[in-house]
Structure 1
Amino acid sequence: MGTFWVLEVMPIAVTSLIPIFLFPLLGIMPSRDVCFNYAEDTIMLFLGSLIVAVAVEKWNLHRRIALRALTLVGPEPRWLLLGIMFPCWFLSMWMSNTATTAMMMPILNAILKQIKRVTVLDITEGNDPGEDDNEIEVTIEVDGIPMEEKPLRNNAHKQDEKSQRNRADEEREFTELAKIFALSTAYAANAGGIATLTGTPPNIILKGHVDKFYRRYNLDPGLTFANWLIFGLPLSVVLFIVTWLWLQFWYLRKRFVCRAQDTRSYDTVKTHLKIEYASLGSMTFAEGVVAVCFVLLAVLWITRDPQFIHGWGVLFPKGFVKDSTPAILISVIMFILPAYPPSWLRCSKKDNDPFTQGGFTPLLTWKTVNDEMAWGIVLLMGGGFALADGCSKSGLSDWISTKLEVLGTLSPWVVALVLALVVAAATNIASNSATATLFLPIVADLAVRLQINPTYLMIPVAVSASFAYLLPVGTPPNAIVFASGYIQIKDMVKIGIVLNVLAVLILVLMSCTLAVAAYGLDSFPLAFLGHTNTTLNGSTIAPIISLNNSHITYYITQR
C-alpha cells in the first residue's frame, strides 16, 4: 500500500480501501475490525471541520477575509507580501490548504497584473518612471546653420538603450516578485495548517494514531484541539515569521537595505484591492451566520477541556464527549439555518426573496457538500488507521522497530531530528497524508523499544510531513502555484531548501522544549512496560527506573 500511495498506481482513495478485503483474506484481522478504522472518532472530527469549511467557501467568507487583510497593509513589497501570506496562514488553520491556496491565486493574479501594467508595460510604452518629464531643447548653430540633427540621433539612441535596460531590469524584478508572491501562498498555507489539530491531515492522523496507541494500554492520550494550540500555534507563528523574512531577503537582497522603492505601482495595487473589497458589498446574512458558526465551533473546541480549568466537557460522563461532537453538531446546524433572513427580520420585502415566495434555502445542501467534500482524504485516513492496526497485529511494526533499535545509541533529540529530516525529505515526493500514515505506527513502536515517550517522536514526525517546500508533487498548494506559471521547479528547490532545513530545526527545538513541557513528554508511561516485558531470544527484559534519565531503562537477564 505504501508503494501504491507514493507512486499513485491507483487513486489514493482507492488504494486506501485495500485493507477491507486484503486483511480478512490473509487472516490478519476480521472484516468488522478493519471497517471500524474507517469510522474513528478522529475521522468524524475531520469530516465535521471539512463541512464547516465547505460553508465558508460557498458563501465567500474566506475571500472577504483575504481582501480585507490585503487592504490593511502598506503598499511596499514586504508589507504586500505579508498581506498575501497572512490570510492564507489564518484560513488554512480552519480550511484545507488546497482550498485556501486556490482561493488566493485569482487575487494574486490580479495584484501581479496591476504591478506589471504600471511598471513593465509603462516602460515598454516609453513612460519610464525614472525619467524627467520636463525636457529642455537646445539648438546649436554654426555659421547660422542649425547643427542639432546628429546629436539628437545620438541622444535618442542613448535614451532607447537606457529604456531597454530599465525594461529588462523591471521585467527581472517583476519575475522575481511573482515567484515570491506565488510561493508565499503555498508556504503560508502549509505553516497555518500546523497551528490547529484540524488544520492539516497529518495533524489529524497524528491524533488518530496517538489515540489508538495509548488506548491499547488503557492510557489517556491527552491530545485535544485545545492543548494542541499550546504547541502548534507558537510553532506555526515562528514558521510564518521565518518564511516571511526569508522570502523578503530572497527578493529584496540589496533593496532590503539600501534601495528606495518606487511605490507607484504598489499604490495602484492598493487602490485596486480596495475596489475589489468594496465590490463585495456589506456582509450578507449568510456570511454573518457562517462566521458565527465558525467562531462558535472554535470556542467549543477550545473550552471543552482546556485543562487549566474545567471545561464544558465535565458536564457529561467521562469519555462521552470528544472534539468530534461539536464539529458534527455545528455541521448539522448548518443544514438547518437559513441562508437568507426571514421576512420578519427584513426591513423590506423583495420580489425575489425566497421567504416571501414560501421557499427556504439552507446554508448548506447535501449536494453542495457532496460535490465539494474531499472524500478521498477521509478514505485515506481510514485506510491509514487500518494499515497501522494490521501492522501492529501482524507484528510487522515490531519487526521494523527492532531493525531500527540501532538508533538507541543516540540521544532522544537526535533521534527526533533524524526522523524529522527523513520524513521532511519523503513528503516532498509523496503526499503528506500518506507519509504521516506510513511513518507514525512504526515510530510509535520504535519509541517504546528505545524507552522514549512515543508522543515525543510522533509529533516531529507528523509535523515534518507538512514541510513540503521543494517540489510541486509534495502538496496540492505547491502544485497549484506551480501550475500558475510564475515559478519553475528549480526556483522551488533553491528557495525551499533553506526553509526545509530551518523548519526541521525549529520543529525539533520546540518539540524538545515546548512540547515536552506542555505534554509531559520527559517521562515514559509505565503501562508500556507490559508491552516491552517480553522474551527475545531466550532473554527476559525487566524494567528499571533510572533517576539520572528522563525515561526508563532496561537490563536483560538470561534465563
Structure 2
Amino acid sequence: MIQFRPSSPRGRVVTFVLALLGTAVLAFGPNPEGLSLRGQYALATMFFAGSLWVTGAFPLAVTALSIPVLLTTFGVYPDLDAALVGFADHLIFLFVAGFMLANALQKYDIDRRIALWILSVMGTSPRRLVLSVMVATAFLSMWVSNTATTAMMTPIAVGVLAQVVGQEGVVEAATNVDDVDSEVTTDGGIAVDDGFRNIQVAMLLGTAYAASVGGVGTLIGTPPNAVLASQLNEMLGYEVGFAQWMLIGLPIVVITLPIIWYVLTYWLYPPEIDDVSDARDEAKQYLAEEGNLGPRGRRVAIIFTATALLWVVGGLDDFVAPALPDAWAVTLFGGEGTSVMGVEGHQGVLYYVMVGLASIPALVLADTMEWDELADIDWGTILLFGGGIALADALEATGATKWIADSVFGSLTGAPIVLVVAVVVLLVIFLTEMTSNTATATIIAPLLISIGSVFAATLGLTDVAAAVFLAVSGTIAASFAFALPVATPPNAIVFGSGYLKQSQMMRAGVLLNLLMTAILTGLIWLLFRFVWPQVLW
C-alpha cells in the first residue's frame, strides 16, 4: 500500500493536485447567496493556501508566494501590483528590523548571557530551576523570535539537566519505566528513549511553552501580533502602538507563565530530585566561559536597550505630548498639525516601525554588524507574513470576510460575552494545533474584526472597539497551542531534541489547552473591563 506523505515528493504532488481541485470546485461552483464573484474567488484562494499550510505540503513561505499569483489569475485584483501590496506593509519592516536586532544580540551572545545569568541566580531548587529556564525563555522571546529563542535555550536546558540527572540517575529511572522492553541509551547523562525523568520533561516542555507565551508580550514577539496590528490598520484605520500592546500582552505573560510552570512541576511532572547545586554551578561556569562583553557587544546592548525604550516611549503620546509644544508633539508622536520641519502632517519619528528601522544603520555605524550578518534572517516568515496580508486584504475587499464571519459566528449573536470569547479562544487554539500560529492568525483575525459590529451591542461598545476586542482575543489564543509538536516551532524543536516523548507533550498540552481556554477567557474579559477601555479606545 502506497502512503502519500505531504513531505515526500509524491505526496507533495498529490496534496497540491487535491488542493487545486478543491480550489477549482469552490471557484467555479455555484455562487453562495450574499457572496460576490470576486469574494468567491478570494475564498477559493484562501482554501488553496489554507490546505497547503495545514498539510505542510510546501514550505509556508512558498505557499504565501502563490497567493498574489492566484488572486491576480482569478481577477480578484486587476493587476499583480495590487496583489503584492501586502508584501510592502509597514509592519513587515518592523519584523525585518526586529530580526536584524536579534541577529546582533545572538552574534555577541547577549541573549545567552541573559539566560545563563537568570539560571545562575534563580535556580536554587528543582522547581525554581525550571522556572528560571521558563522566565529566561519568555523574556528573550519578547524580543527574539520564538524559534531562535527555543533553539538557543534548548541546548542550555539540556546541558543543565545533565548536571542534575547524572548518568546513574538516568539509568535507574529508565529501568523503572512501564515499558520494560524499551531500549534505553544515554547522551551526556540524559536518557534519549523512555528513561525520561520528570524534571527533564518539565524543563523541556517549559522551554517550548514559555517561548510561545513570551511572544505575546510585545508587538514583535510573534508574527500573529503584527498580523493583527496590520489588519486593524488596514480594515479599520486603527493603530495599536508598541506600548499599548505591552499593556495588553505583558499581563497575559505574567499571569499565565507561572500557572503553566505550576501545572508542569506540581501536577504533571513534579521533580524527583532535591539537589540542583551542580546545575547552578554549570550555569555559572557557562556564564564565566562567555567572558566579559567586549566593546562591540556593549554597543549592541546599548542600541538594543535604547530601541526598546523608544518603542515604549513612542506609545506614551497621551501622557507626554500635552507637555510639549505642538510642533514638537507632531514631530515626535505624529499628527495632522505642523511639524518642526514646517510641513503639515507627520508620521512621528518615535513611531515604532521608524525606531526599529533606524536601529539597523545604528548597528552598522557602531561597527558591530556587516550587511551579510544583518541579512541572515528568517525571510520565510517575512514572506509568509506578506502573503497572509495579501490574502486578508483580498478577503476584506471582496466582502468574503464578512460573509464567512456571519456564517460561522452569526449563531452566537446575543450570547453572553464570556461564551463568545471562550468559543473564539478554543477555536483558535484548536486551529493552531493543526497549522502555524501565523497562518491561523492570518485567517481568523480578519474574520473576528468583521464580526465586531455583530457583537457591538452585546459588548456595549462601538463597532471598532468590539472588533478590536474580539480580534485581540483570538490573536492571543494563537500562541497557546501546546499539545502537538507540529503546532508551533518551539514545540517541534524541544520534541526534536530527542529527550521528550510525544505522549508526554500530549498529556501536558491537552490539559493546558483546556485550562488556558478557561483562564484566557476570564483574563481577557477582566482586561477588557478594567484595562482596555483606557488603553485601546
Give the aligned partner of residue 459 of structure 1. 472
Structure 1 residues 391 and 272: alpha-carbon distance in aligned structure 2, compared to 1, 3 A threshold: same
1:22 corresponds to: 70
- State the one-letter code of the partner of 1:185: T
Counting only pairs closer than 5 Å after superposition, residues 69-88 of structure 1 correspond to structure 2 as: 69-88=118-137
Aligned to 2:17: none
* Residue 411 (structure 1) aligns with: 416
> C-alpha separation between the residues in 2 aligned to 1:115 and 1:192?
26
Contact 2:198–2:270 (CA<8 Å) still a contact in 1? Answer: no
Equivalent residue letter for 1:329: A
Q: TM-score, normalised by structure 2?
A: 0.78
Correspondence for 1:187 among 182, 197, 209: 209
Identity of aligned residues (%): 32
- Structural mapping, 1:58-457, within 5 Å: 58-117=107-166, 119-120=168-169, 175-215=197-237, 221-250=238-267, 253=270, 262-263=274-275, 266-311=276-321, 314-316=330-332, 317-318=334-335, 320-321=347-348, 322-338=351-367, 363-371=368-376, 373-404=377-408, 405-451=410-456, 453-457=466-470
Query: Could you list the runs of 5+ residues in structure 2 that have no partner in the other structure?
Result: 1-48, 174-192, 322-327, 336-345, 457-462
Report the secondary structure of 2:451's partner residue.
Answer: helix
- Equivalent residue letter for 1:236: V
Report deviation, 1:370.
Answer: 2.6
Q: TM-score, normalised by structure 1?
A: 0.75
1:100 is aligned with what amino acid?
T
Distance in 2 between the 1:305 and 1:252 partners?
Answer: 41
Query: Which 4+ residue blocks in structure 1 deviate beyond 4 angstroms?
Result: 121-124, 171-174, 251-255
* 1:474 counterpart letter in structure 2: A
Change (3 A) 1:510 1:117: closer
- The letter for the 2-side match of 1:97 is N
2:246 alignment partner, SS class: helix
Q: CA deviation at 1:448?
A: 2.2
Change (3 A) 1:399 1:233: same
Q: Which structure: greater helix fraction?
A: 2
1:50 maps to what in 2? 99
Tell me, yes or no, if structure 1 residue 500 matches structure 2 residue 513: yes
Distance, in Å, in 1 between the alignment partners of 2:268 and 2:194 is 11
Shift of the alpha carbon at 1:308? 4.2
Q: Deviations over 1:58-87 (max 9, x none)?
A: 111111111111111243201111121111
Q: C-alpha separation between the residues in 1 aligned to 2:171 and 2:220?
A: 46
Match of 2:495 among 476, 482, 488: 482
Unaligned 5+ segments in structure 1 are: 125-170, 216-220, 256-260, 339-362, 526-559
Q: Distance in 2 between matches of 1:186 and 1:108?
A: 11
Counterpart code for 1:22: L
**CA deviation string 1:76-120 (max 9, x = no partner):** 201111121111011000000111111111111211222232752
One-letter identity of the residue aligned with 2:316: P
Deviation at 1:303, TM superposition (A): 0.7
Q: Is the 8 A contact 2:485 2:495 kept in 1?
A: yes
The verdict on how the C-alpha distance between 1:25 and 1:408 changes in structure 2, with shifts beyond 3 A counting, is same
Q: Deviations over 1:271-291 (max 9, x none)?
A: 222221111111211221111
Match of 2:252, SS? helix
Distance 1:421 1:122 in 2: 40
Q: Deviations over 1:198-235 (max 9, x none)?
A: 101111111111111112xxxxx141100111111011
- For residues 252 and 6 of structure 1, the distance between their equivalents in structure 2, rounded to whole angstroms, comes to 31
Cα 1:286–1:400 shift into 2, 3 Å: same
Match of 2:339 in 1: none
- Structure-2 change in CA distance of 1:175 and 1:21 (3 Å): same
Task: Look up the equivalent residue of 1:287 and give its one-letter code.
Answer: G
Verify the 8 A CA contact 1:175 1:486 in the aligned structure 2.
no
Q: CA deviation at 1:394?
A: 2.1
1:200 alignment partner AA: T
**Paired residue for 2:338?**
none
C-alpha deviation, 1:502, in angstroms: 2.3
The change in CA–CA distance for 1:121 and 1:470 in structure 2 (over 3 A counts) is closer
What corresponds to 1:531 in structure 2?
none
Q: How many residue pairs end up in the alignment?
A: 443
> Which stretch shifts more, 313-322 or 454-463?
313-322
Match of 1:520 in 2: 533
Deviations 1:163-208 (A, max 9, x none): xxxxxxxx99962211111111111111111111110111111111
In the aligned structure 2, how far is the partner of 1:253 from the partner of 1:333? 47
User: In 1, Cα distance between the equivalents of 2:381 and 2:195?
Assistant: 39
Q: C-alpha distance in 1, partners of 2:529/2:478?
A: 20
Q: Distance in 2 between matches of 1:384 and 1:520?
A: 29
Structure-2 separation of matches of 1:76 and 1:440: 41
SS of equivalent residue, structure 1 residue 472: coil
Q: C-alpha distance in 1, partners of 2:246/2:271? A: 38
Q: Deviations over 1:349-404 (max 9, x none)?
A: xxxxxxxxxxxxxx222212333x11111111111111111112222112212313
The answer to whether the 8 A contact 2:196-2:500 is kept is: no
Which whole-Å CA distance do the structure 2 matches of 1:313 and 1:47 have between them? 27
What is the RMSD of the two structures over their aligned residues, measured on CA atoms?
2.5
* Structure-2 separation of matches of 1:254 and 1:92: 25
- Residues 1:262 and 1:302: Cα distance change in structure 2 (over 3 Å): closer
**In the aligned structure 2, how far is the partner of 1:173 from the partner of 1:76?**
22
- Greater CA radius of gyration, 1 or 2? 1
- Does residue 9 (structure 1) correspond to residue 57 (structure 2)? The answer is yes
